[in-house]
Amino acid sequence: MTRIAFLDVDGTILEHGSVIAPSTATAIQKARANGHAVWLCTGRSAGDIHPDVLAIGFDGAITNGGAYATRGAGPDAVETLVERPMPRADVDALERYFETHGIHYFLQTHGGVYASAGMGAVMSEYRRERHERRAAELEAQGLPPEQPLWREPRPVSEVDRAAVAKAVFVSPSTDTVAHAASALGDGFHVIPGSIPLPGGSNGEIGQAGVTKGSAIVEVLAELGIESRDAIGIGDSWNDVEMFEVVGTPVAMGNAVPELQKLAGRVTSAVLDDGVHNAFAELGLI
């Protein structure tokens, strides 16, 4: 039986940084060789997917948390199946909210990521602290060290605000996710983010109704594949809607317990052969 697997990137294929378990690439390539389809399904912009991830090879990619979907991934994309940029008025409302409350943010388009003026210093300090913390852990596991950020975001002043797909914010306050959801209203989809910050909060904001799950439904219809033959593997809150629309949802072992409970099926952690073990258990390899 031919199946299709949708894989989150950060925390599922890629450990938050730049490290990929060797078994993950092998499992994806073997599953495709066995006739199954494997798609990326990420909150990242298509232009912000790490080249080591793209080098594995995929049949397609859902990006920007469901705002875009393409046959093929990255430079190999050959056809756009889903295209849902945010209305310009919504982008303006988001920026007003962030600026009013002193919140640093990224705006994402299909092609790239754009950072507000204060975001660079915040993320540089985060990466410095993380690098120091992770270096010994990775060495002890026999894994390569994390690489520097492969592509710096461009300044938000350069973004085409008619092409924005979603926003990611970093806030010093711990309650910004709930506050943003209340202040912005029902037209927006506000969820906790997956950046493991030492304090404060971060989150993702997109259009209401535009999720990984909504894009998967459209992709399955286009490909003529039933939802019962679809697998979704992830570790973050933007994977909830993916879990709701696939026949076989799988949470990573590094996902929070609430997400593991929602999925019902749990594999091992991202650097503990999580994707490989899930594919093996489900008969893709």
Task: Give the tens place of pLDDT for each residue, 189-228.
Answer: 999 987 766 678 889 999 999 999 999 999 999 999 999 9
**In which band, very low, low, confident or very high, does the pLDDT at 145 lie, cut at 50, 70 and 90?**
low
Q: Is the pLDDT of residue 150 over 70?
A: no
pLDDT at 129: 59
pLDDT of residue 209: 97
Residue 20, pLDDT score: 93
276 pLDDT higher than 80: yes
By DSSP bridging, strand 37-41 and strand 201-207 are unpaired
**Given pLDDT bands bounded at 50, 70 and 90, which one contains residue 125?**
low
* Angle, CA 236 vertex, CA 232 and CA 237 arms, to 5°: 100
pLDDT confidence tier of residue 128, bands split at 50, 70 and 90: low
Is the pLDDT confidence value at 138 over 90? Answer: no
Q: Is the pLDDT of residue 89 over 80?
A: yes
Q: What is the pLDDT of residue 99?
A: 95
Domains of the chain: 4-84+210-281 (3.40.50.1000), 88-207 (3.30.1240.10)
Q: What is the pLDDT of residue 148?
A: 52
Average of per-residue pLDDT across 9-24: 89
User: Pairing state of beta strands 201-207 and 188-192?
Assistant: antiparallel
Nearest to residue 218, comparing CAs of 67, 27, 105? 67
Across 61-75, 106-120, 195-209, least confident range:
195-209
What is the pLDDT at residue 205? Answer: 98
pLDDT at residue 195, rounded to an integer: 73
Query: Smallest Cα–Cα separation from 276: which of 241, 250, 255?
Result: 250
The pLDDT value given to residue 66: 98
Mean pLDDT across the chain: 91
- Give me the mean pLDDT over the 36-46 stretch: 97
Question: Distance (Å, rounded) from C-alpha 16 to C-alpha 164?
Answer: 24
Per the CB < 8 A criterion, the answer to whether 149 and 82 are in contact is: no
Bridge partner residues of 171 (DSSP): 201
Poorest-pLDDT segment among 30-34, 95-99, 187-191, 200-204: 200-204
Scan for tokens 């990326």, then name that residue.
Answer: 40
Q: What pLDDT, on a 0 to 100 scale, did the predictor assign at position 201? A: 87
**Does pLDDT of 56 surpass 90?**
yes
Task: Decide: 9 and 42 in contact? Cβ < 8 Å.
Answer: yes
CA atoms within 13 A on the CB side of 167: 32
Please state which of the ranges 115-124, 159-168, 176-185, 265-274 shows the lowest mean pLDDT. Answer: 115-124
Lowest pLDDT segment from 60-74, 94-108, 116-130: 116-130
